[in-house]
Structure formats: structure tokens, C-alpha cells
Amino acid sequence: MLPLVVIPRDRPPFRVAGFRFTPALSDLSESLGCVSGKSSPKFGEKSSASPPQPFAYLQAPNAALYDRVLDVFAEARERFIVHLRPEDVAAELRSEAGGAPVPIEAVGGALDQLVDWGNLRADPDTGRVTSVEDFHRARFLYQLTRHGQAALQAVAVYDEALGRRGQLQSVALADIAEQLAALLALARQKDPDPAKAHLALLALADRFGSLADNAQAFMASLRRTIDFQDGDEEAFIAYKDRLVEYIDRFIADLANRGAQIADLLTQLNTAGVDRLLLSAAQREAGDAVPEVGADGQEAERARLAASQAALTAWENRWRGLTDWFLSRSNRQPSQAKLLRGAAVSAITSLVNTVAALNERRGGRSDRSADFRALARFFAQAPDDDAAHRLWRAAFALAPARHLTVDAETEAAWQDADLPGTTPWAQAPPLEISPRLRETGSYERRGRPTRVADRSAARQVLAEQVEREAAQTAAARARLATGGPVLLSELAGDDGLDPHAFRLFLAVLGDALSARVPGEHESSAITGDGTMEVRLKLVDPDAVVRIPTADGVLSGPEHVIEIVDLVHESSAGGSGPASVRSMTPPLTTDAVGETRR
């Protein structure tokens, strides 16, 4: 017979491990489990009807508060504190908030909700009961459940994986080689120590896993860096040199240490690494928990199954380590070789990206910049007619004239003076030959056309070429300075004629384009190899004016020397190389005079 339990009606309801209990005399028999015949759940356990939802707090309205509360329990667990009271949690939250008040009611509600989800477990707090009133008041101690602990670990791993940039661990390569050397020494022993072999394999697996995971994370973060997903252009350019040096150093270490590791792996496979793997697996299987109610044979079978499972796991790890450093064939290279190739490709992509950035920052024109400029022109067009003219000029959409016509048709078109925007329906008809309409060809049958005598035209062209060559030679002779002179003295009192001026612009452009940024001197040879020019900036603030027949050229004062290489060669020189070697560099005194 069950003892009589008296529960006062005025006792307030309380919550235990997700169950709300409202005591009443009418519910006494049900609370004791006498109605249904089923035993009630143990104190602090969730009912099997509501499975745990340890990740539900991540999408709850007060997710930040729940996360902070669970962090308090995780930190307490690291300090080997199992239970926490609501006031302890509130004090920790207040400390994290810099002394800001944290309502105890909000903390209590968050704790109860986390108990409902299965993250926490609530146990009665009877240690502080000193009176009947304290006994009737609901007091609980809270601790993390295994579901809550697993959820916290999963969220921590997820956050770490997302924010992880990874690194190329050159030190890990040395550690792996050291552990492999220790394993090789054990494998060559007649009776290797299982404990030493197991510890060496554990250290090797841990170091190798860290190397592989960090390398994968680093290559992914490097790709994001190259694609400008993690930073701006200025930081990327400043970071480039250090990054290239870092990758180069790892590639060199991987090539050297990788060969050593591959040799150690080959020796271990020959010496018999299977014995070490089996001893490690048997040592791990010795810690397997025995089954409840199992006899001796069943326990032995369970131990053998655990040993076989551990051996399979170690063989998979060893196969992965071997494939990482040893290539199976030319078509199946090792992961280390693939990593080296990916690192080299990343350096190439990095350099190409920096070159593209420098070109973009230097203002060089490309197709995208041209289209953006054209878009601005269209946006600034005053009306539709101007936009149409811009369209025809930009894309060469002039009126098409594909048929050959005679002189009479051309004269008629010139007399009509029709604009290019005239519609075809309003334009005068195009008159074509009936022969073209009938046969599709202008060719006439009969005797072939007599070959035209073009000797007179060739004579005209020869005279024109001779005249242009004489003008060019005169321009070269006019520009040849015979030594360093100031740019303001080059033209003299009469100025430069059009031919000499055009040649001077070409020579000056070659010299300016050959100047290195930050330097004041430059030299260049024209593309046809006929002239050499040396240029040195004297005073960037002094402006000179060179009169020409086409206008006045103004710019900063320079010391210039122009050499006619054709004249020097005909006078007994040996071409541009000899002229460059015999002519000393330009120097300028403090007073601005030039000398050799």
C-alpha cells in the first residue's frame, strides 16, 4: 500500500526538466502513477514523447540570450563546475555585459526554455532549504545535457570552419617526418612496444590531419582573396609580396620534406607497418566497454570485432597518408604534387591579378573602360539626333554602298547631296546595268581588256618617294644637334618646318615613353633605326616654347641630343650600337649648362 502524500493546494506550480507540475488533491493518484499503471519519468529527464531539440535556440527570437546562457555553462564545464543556479548564470552574464543589469526573470525563462529543448537538465536544489517555505518554493540546479553539449560542440566546429583561413604548415612536415622515422625504428624491431607504436601513430594522424585540413582551408581562402571577396584592392596589393614569399617558402619545404617523407613511407611499407597498425588497433580494442549480460565467448567476439574495426580505421588513415605523399601513377599523382601545382597556379593568378590592377589604376584603356566612356557620352547627348550620330560614329554604321557604280552615278549622287539618314524609300532609285541584272556580272564577252600601261604612274610614285626621302633626310639633318642642347634652342629663330616638326614629335614621343617613372633621363632609338635621342629634364617648372609652322609647342625645359644614325653610319660608324657606346651620357651643371 502506497503511503499517503499530502500536497497543499497553495503550493505554487513548478517546472522540472521540461515538465510543469501543478499539484492538486484530485491529481494526487495520477501524480503517483496509480491511474495508468505507468511509471512517471525520472526526475530531470525528458519524456520520450517530446524528443530533444538542442538546435532550436539558434532560430528562436531570443537566440542571442540563449547563446550567451549556453556559453556560460560551457565555460563552467571547462572549470569543472557541473551545476549552476539562475543567480550564478545572471552574475556571469552581468560580468560579460560590463556590469549592466540582467533581469533574473529573463534568465529564469531562458533556462526553462532550454530545459524544454533538452539543452539543460534541471535538478531540485535542496541544499539551501532551511524552512518549509523554502521547500515549497521551486529551486533548481541546471547542468548541460549530452544533447546540449553535442550541440555546442557542433556549433563551435561550424563557426571555426567558416572563419578559418588556414595556413601552410611547414613545421607539420618536419613533425610528420620525425614521427615516421620513429615508426620506422619500431618496425625494424623484433618485438616493438605497442604503447610506443600507438602513441606515435596517434601523433602522426593528428599532425597529418591538421596539415591536410589547414592546406585545404588556406587554398580556399587564397582563392577568395584573389577574387576580392575578402578585402579591397589596396590591401590586396600590399599583401601580395608577403603572400607570394609565404607560398614560395612552403613549396620549397614541401618539395624537400615531401621527398624525405615519401622515402620513409616506402621503407615503412617494406619493413612491415601492418604489425604496428595491428598492435595499435588491439590496444584500442582493449578499452572497449563490455556488453551487459554477455558471456565469455560473446565478450571475446565483441573484442575481436572492435579490434577489426580499429584496424580498418588505421589502415584507411595509413592509405590516406601514403596517397598524400606517394603517387600511384602518372595519371594519379599524389596530393602533395597536386598541392604544389595548385600553389604555383595561385601565384600565377596572383601576379596576373596584380598586373590587371596596376593597369586599371594606371588608367590604361581597355574595352570595358571604352564602353563606360561611351555610355557617359550617350548619357550626355543633348537630343536623340546627337545620340544617333554618336551611335553611327562609334559603331561605323554608315550607309552601305555595296554596288560598284560608274562616274555618272557618282556625279548624280554628289549633285543630289543626300544625307546619310535619308530612308531608302525616299531616296532616288539606284540605276544598274541590265547586264548586271540579267547575268549578275559586269564582265563582257569578247576580247579581253588590253593591259594598261602604268609606267607613267610608277614614275610619279618613284618621284614622290624620292621627294619624301629627301624631305625626311633634310628633317633629320635639321634635327641633328651635334651635341647636347637645350630644348628651347633646338628650333632656333626660324622655328621648325612641318616635316621637321612631325619627325621631332615622333622622336620626342619615343624618348618620353622610354623614361622610367621617377627618373629624369631617358634615351631611345626610333623604330626605323635612323635616329637616336637622349633626353634629360632640367627644370620641371621652366616652360619653353618651340615655334613651328603649325603652331607653338610648349613644355618643360630639357636637355636634348639627337643623333642622325644614317649620317654617322655613312661617315664611317658602325650603326646604332657604336654610336651609343661612343657617345657619353648627358650631364648638367648647376647653372644649367650642358657638357659631356
Identify the residue whose cell numbers are 632640367.
538
Amino acid identity, position 406: D
Checking phi first, is residue 72 left (phi over 0); if not, alpha (psi -120 to 50) or beta? alpha
Quote the cell numbers at residue 502.
612631325
- 441: three-class secondary structure by DSSP: coil
Band (376; pLDDT cuts 50, 70, 90): very high
Q: Give the Å distances, CA to CA, from 264 to 181, 187, 260, 369.
A: 7, 12, 6, 56
Give the Cβ contact number of residue 405 at 10 Å. Answer: 15
Confidence tier at 36 by pLDDT (50, 70, 90): very low
Residue with cell 525528458: 46
Q: 566: helix, coil or strand?
A: helix
* Residue-wise pLDDT tens digits, 146-180: 999 999 988 888 777 665 566 777 888 889 999 99
- For 98: left if phi > 0, alpha if psi spans -120 to 50, otherwise beta; the answer is left
Q: d(Cα 142, Cα 122) in Å, to the nearest integer?
A: 5
Q: Which backbone phi and psi does 206 adopt, to 5 degrees?
A: -65, -45
pLDDT of residue 466: 92
- pLDDT score at 43: 43
Residue 180, pLDDT score? 93
Q: In this model, does residue 584 exceed pLDDT 80? A: no
Q: Which residue has the higher pLDDT, 549 or 234?
A: 549
Q: How far apart are CA 390 and CA 326, in angstroms?
A: 64
Q: Which position has the grid cell 618613284? A: 462
- The radius of gyration of the chain from alpha carbons, rounded to an integer in Å, stands at 45
Question: pLDDT tens digit string along 565-581?
Answer: 887 666 554 444 333 33
Binned at pLDDT 50, 70 and 90, residue 428 comes out as confident
Class of residue 173 by CB neighbours under 10 A (exposed 0-12, middle 13-18, buried 19+) = buried
Answer yes or no: is pLDDT of 49 > 60: no
What's the pLDDT at 179?
92
Q: Which DSSP letter does residue 127 get?
A: T
**What cell does 586 get?**
648627358
Would you tell me how many other CB atoms lie within 10 Å of the CB of residue 519? 10
**Within a 10 A sphere around the Cβ of 388, how many other Cβ atoms?**
13
Beta strand 531-547 pairing with 521-525: antiparallel
**DSSP per-residue letters across 237-253:** HHHHHHHHHHHHHHHHH
pLDDT of residue 233: 66
What nine digits make up the cell of 67?
547563446
Q: What is the mean pLDDT of residues 25-53?
A: 47
Q: What is the pLDDT of residues 282-326, one digit of tens each?
A: 888 877 656 655 566 777 788 888 888 889 999 999 998 998 888
Which pLDDT does position 585 carry in this prediction?
41
Cβ proximity of 567 and 476 under 8 Å? yes
C-alpha distances in Å from residue 373, one per residue of 376, 380, 441: 5, 11, 45
Res. 259: pLDDT tops 70: yes
Cell numbers at residue 446, please?
Answer: 569578247
Q: Which three cell numbers stand for residue 387?
A: 545620340
Q: In Å, how far are 288, 300, 304, 312, 588 from 309, measured between CA atoms?
A: 11, 14, 9, 5, 86
44, 142 Cβ separation under 8 angstroms = no
Are the C-beta atoms of residues 45 and 17 closer than 8 Å to each other? yes
Domains of the chain with CATH codes: 14-158 (1.10.10.10), 170-289+297-345 (no CATH), 365-413 (no CATH), 473-595 (no CATH)
**pLDDT tier, 415 (very low <50, low <70, confident <90, very high otherwise):** confident
In the 8-state DSSP scheme, what is residue 235? H
Report the range of poorest mean pLDDT among 48-57, 111-120, 505-514. 48-57
Specify the pLDDT at position 296.
Answer: 67
In whole angstroms, what is the distance from residue 514 CA to residue 519 CA? 10
Of 44-48, 163-167, 278-282, which has the strongest mean pLDDT? 278-282
3-state helix, strand, coil in the chain (%, to 5): 55, 10, 35
Percentage of the chain modeled with pLDDT above 90: 15
Find out whether 533 and 586 touch, Cβ atoms under 8 Å.
no
Residue type, 159: D
Q: Rounded distance, CA 345 to CA 347, Å?
A: 5
Q: What is the distance between the alpha carbons of residues 112 and 545, in angstroms, rounded to a whole number? A: 89
Give the mean model confidence (pLDDT) for residues 115-129.
Answer: 84
Residues β-bridged to residue 587:
595
- Predicted pLDDT of residue 135: 62
Higher pLDDT, 402 or 43: 402
d(CA 187, CA 280): 13
3-state secondary structure of 545: strand
- Please state, in angstroms and rounded to a whole number, the distance separating the CA atoms of residues 155 and 246: 31
| Closest of 477, 452, 473, 594 to residue 537, by C-alpha | 594
